[in-house]
């Protein structure tokens, strides 16, 4: 015996089912790609860029110690300062535009990091020392004659 179909409930042709499945897959793939692209975008426009003084890894805090740095020697590329009995080299391009002759003294602020992951040690040169107040300071060659690396435990 044959079963009768109700009018209006005829199944769709096989090719239409296949096209619907392809469209569904394409839309699913497109949605997944769009979601991946959108999650990679930064949406927080309220964050301002860091100031030039704040390096990557901030915000950071430093312990500041004022002192006097004496130029132990210098060449075209580096200046070596004697600070608290240790010689510390600096690239001329990182320093202010002073002549830095051997024996010159400069007021400095040593900054050692206490919190954060910015530059661990910064030497800020305030300016030349007034010669009348430090005329009794010994020449750096009499204090230490050889170059030595900074103590990493103090950085």
**Per-residue pLDDT tens digits for 3-33:** 666 666 666 666 565 666 677 777 777 777 6
Task: Please state which of the ranges 41-45, 89-93, 122-126, 148-152 shows the lowest mean pLDDT.
Answer: 41-45
56 Cβ contact partners less than 8 Å away, ≥ 6 residues apart: 50, 117, 118
Q: Give pLDDT, residue 32.
A: 73
Tokens of 36: 């991946």
**Per-residue pLDDT tens digits for 103-143:** 999 999 999 999 988 889 999 999 999 864 444 444 444 44
Q: How far apart are the first and last CA of the chain?
A: 96
- pLDDT for residue 53 is more than 90: no
pTM of the model: 0.49
Give 112's strand partners.
63, 121
Counting Cβ atoms within 10 Å, is residue 122 exposed (0-12), middle (13-18) or buried (19+)?
Answer: middle
pLDDT confidence of 150, banded at 50, 70, 90?
Answer: low
| Beta strand pairing call for 78-83 and 86-91 | antiparallel
Residue 74: alpha-carbon gap to chain centroid: 28
| Ramachandran area for residue 100 (φ above 0: left; ψ -120 to 50: alpha; else beta) | left
**Alpha carbons 128 and 132: distance in angstroms, whole number:** 12
- pLDDT for residue 83 is more than 80: yes
């Amino acid at each position: 015996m044959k079963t009768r179909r109700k009018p209006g409930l005829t199944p769709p042709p096989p090719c239409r089912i296949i096209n619907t499945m392809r469209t569904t897959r394409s839309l699913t793939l497109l949605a997944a790609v769009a979601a991946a692209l959108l999650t990679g975008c930064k949406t927080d426009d309220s964050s301002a860029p860091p100031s030039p003084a704040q390096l990557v890894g901030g915000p950071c805090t430093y312990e500041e110690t004022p002192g006097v740095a004496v130029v132990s020697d210098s060449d075209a590329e580096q200046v070596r300062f004697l600070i608290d009995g240790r010689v510390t080299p600096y690239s001329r391009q990182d320093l202010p535009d002073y002549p830095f002759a051997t024996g010159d003294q400069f007021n400095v602020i040593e900054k050692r990091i206490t919190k954060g992951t910015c530059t661990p040690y910064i030497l800020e040169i305030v300016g030349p020392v007034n010669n009348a107040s430090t005329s009794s300071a010994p020449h750096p060659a009499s204090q230490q004659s050889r170059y030595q690396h900074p103590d990493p435990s103090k950085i």
